[in-house]
Amino acid sequence: MSESSDKLKAFSRRQPMNRRQSQRQNQKKAQKKVKVPSQPQRVVKKEVALTHFDHQIIPPRIATGVRKSKTAVVMPAAVKPIPHVQRTIPSVNPSTMKLKTVRVQKQPLPKIGRRVSRKTRLKPMARTMLYALRLLIVGVGLGAIVGTMLSVLDPATRVPTNPSMQSSTNNGGQNQPQLTPNAAASLYLSQEIIPLKDAVQNLAATYANLTPGVFLVDLDTGGYVDVNSSTSFSAASTIKVPILMAFFQDVDTGKIRLDEMLTLEKDMVAGGSGNLQYQKVGTQYAALEVATKMITISDNTATNMLITRLGGIEALNQRFQSWGLTATTIRNPLPDLPGTNTTSPREMGNLMAMVNQGNFISMRSRDLMLDIMRRTERNNLLPAGLGTGARTYHKTGDIGAMLADVGLIDTPTGKRYIASVMVQRPNNDPRAEKLISSISSAAYRQLSQNTVPSNTTNTVPPVGYQTPVITPAKPNNMGNTVPPTSNQAPFATPQYFPSR
């Protein structure tokens, strides 16, 4: 009130005298009304109204009947505010209650805005996470559906609808397993060649105490012969065929080089067939030379060297499983004289179909693999039953309890078929050799006379066509053992898919 009185003094000096007198009269009347004891509340309200929250000065109300002063007229300097007015302000409850209401209304709005903005910022983040989770679930579901559709539509997994393929009966009257194509080999079978099957069974009947397992497939027509083909036999050295295929698979992927030097170690030396067992420990050989010796002379030491280089027995078994070979398992290093390493004629036949079609390995590696198998030195089993001009890509297996030979055979007429024959025998019974050569002769007579179907194109080169020859490298004097790129690869009869 003192500040306002000073301002009023400044203004009062400018006013005329007559206005001062009127102002004094009005002020006296107003003071008289303020001192009325019957209306103490009105006085307080008027004085409260003189101060505002914004510290603005508002002139008091003029009682009714009193002449209103002009805007320029102010209180004279002699008039001072009543001292007890300020002391009565805190005791007025209605006014203080209104102050709380005003204070709530004057809360800063930006704080409310910040709270709302935080919520709005969290909502898009949660929404994004929810959408991502939904997309993940949908993606997994679509992947499973597409994978199932692809596996169903894959032609390699379709089963021919020919009823003659559903089951076959052997001499004992027992049903054979269903002849379904192997998914990995894409080997299609049309119908069983009954005359050839009868001939094989008659030959087996003439050799007592010999149990043959036979799987023959004409790659042109899909005709086949199945005699105990799914039975598990001791693999002997035929286990070296899938090892050779795993070797060339790693060559294709760059895990191993053909000219990589492998070191002969003491724990790799094995007896039986082969000449690396007589070499000095620590001698190094090129990987291609080791693989070649494993097949051509059935070197057991070379086989153990490759098994170690390819990751060991367990790693190879897992790879065989991934190819669809369930009976083909390595349990011991070579030589496996007890016969714990196993396979079946059917799986060996499927493996040869993989080799023929270049499954899991490149065509270049396939050609090298066939050339190595063509130079197998033992030719008294399957090759012994073939006619002049036939060519064999094969691998033999020989232990006391089992004799076997598996491979691909090309006839002079341009046909190619799979022959996989295993014979369980008494210890080193020589009759098993004669039985295998006799089965090979019967198959050659039957399959070589069949003509190629008219709906297939004969792309076989002339009979005089020569396959490239790889000169084996000499130990400790390694040369380039890979044939020149100008050489032609061994030919392959195109795969025939029977009409359905």
Task: Answer for the pair 391, 429: CB distance below 8 angstroms, yes or no.
Answer: no
Q: Around Cβ 448, how many Cβ atoms within 10 Å?
A: 19
Mean pLDDT of 42-64: 49
**Number of helices and strands in the chain (H, E):** 14, 9
Mean pLDDT comparison of 35-39, 86-90, 169-173, highest-scoring range: 86-90
Report residue 107's pLDDT band, with 50, 70 and 90 as the boundaries: low
pLDDT score of 299 more than 50: yes
pLDDT score of 145 more than 90: no
Cα distances from 257 to residues 254, 352, 481, in angstroms, run 7, 23, 12
Which has the higher per-residue pLDDT, 24 or 253?
Answer: 253
Beta strand ranges found along 335-481 (DSSP E): 342-343, 391-399, 402-410, 416-424
pLDDT score of 27 more than 90: no
Which has the higher per-residue pLDDT, 362 or 155?
Answer: 362
Structure token pair of residue 279: 């070499």
pLDDT of residue 66: 52
pLDDT of residue 480: 38
pLDDT score of 270 more than 80: yes
Cα-only R_g, the chain: 52
Mean pLDDT of 216-236: 95
* Residue 367 neighbours by CB under 8 Å, 6+ apart: 468, 489, 490
Mean pLDDT comparison of 41-55, 56-70, 181-195, 406-420, highest-scoring range: 406-420
Task: Answer for the pair 264, 281: CB distance below 8 angstroms, yes or no.
Answer: yes
Burial class of 244 by CB neighbour count within 10 A (0 to 12, 13 to 18, 19+): buried
Mean pLDDT comparison of 28-37, 71-80, 215-224, highest-scoring range: 215-224
**138 CB-side CA count, 13 A:** 6
Cα distances from 172 to residues 168, 169, 175, 207, 325, in angstroms, run 11, 8, 9, 16, 27
Q: Work out the mean pLDDT of the chain and round it to a whole number.
A: 74
pLDDT score of 470 more than 60: no
Each residue of 85-102: pLDDT tens digit?
A: 555 555 555 555 555 555
Mean pLDDT comparison of 104-118, 179-193, 238-252, 462-476, highest-scoring range: 238-252
Distance CA 307, CA 23 (A): 123
Report residue 61's pLDDT band, with 50, 70 and 90 as the boundaries: low
Mean pLDDT of 325-334: 95
pLDDT score of 481 more than 70: no
3-state class of 143 per DSSP?
Answer: helix
Distance CA 176, CA 227 (A): 9
Per 3-state DSSP, the chain is made up of helix, strand and coil in percentages (nearest 5) of 45, 10, 45
Conformation bin of residue 483: beta by default, left when phi > 0, alpha when psi is -120 to 50: beta
Task: Answer for the pair 451, 432: CB distance below 8 angstroms, yes or no.
Answer: no
Which has the higher per-residue pLDDT, 433 or 82?
Answer: 433
Could you tell me where the DSSP H helices lie in 230-344?
A: 240-253, 287-296, 300-309, 313-322
Which has the higher per-residue pLDDT, 239 or 70?
Answer: 239
Distance CA 133, CA 139 (A): 10
Q: Around Cβ 420, how many Cβ atoms within 10 Å?
A: 27
Amino acid code (one letter) for 440: S
Q: What is the largest CA-CA distance in the chain?
A: 158
Q: How many degrees, rounded to 5, is the angle at CA 78 between CA 76 and CA 82? A: 100
Report residue 52's pLDDT band, with 50, 70 and 90 as the boundaries: very low
Q: Which of 66-70, 129-133, 407-411, 439-443 has the lowest mean pLDDT?
A: 66-70
3-state secondary structure 193-236: CHHHHHHHHHHHHCCCCCEEEEEEEECCCCCEEEECCCCCEECH
3-state class of 329 per DSSP?
Answer: strand
Q: How many degrees, rounded to 5, is the angle at CA 337 between CA 230 and CA 273? A: 110
Task: State what percent of residues in the chain have pLDDT above 90.
Answer: 49
Distance CA 300, CA 38 (A): 130
pLDDT of residue 459: 37
pLDDT of residue 83: 59
Distance CA 420, CA 354 (A): 14
Task: Answer for the pair 226, 176: CB distance below 8 angstroms, yes or no.
Answer: yes
Each residue of 64-74: pLDDT tens digit?
A: 555 555 555 55
pLDDT score of 495 more than 60: no
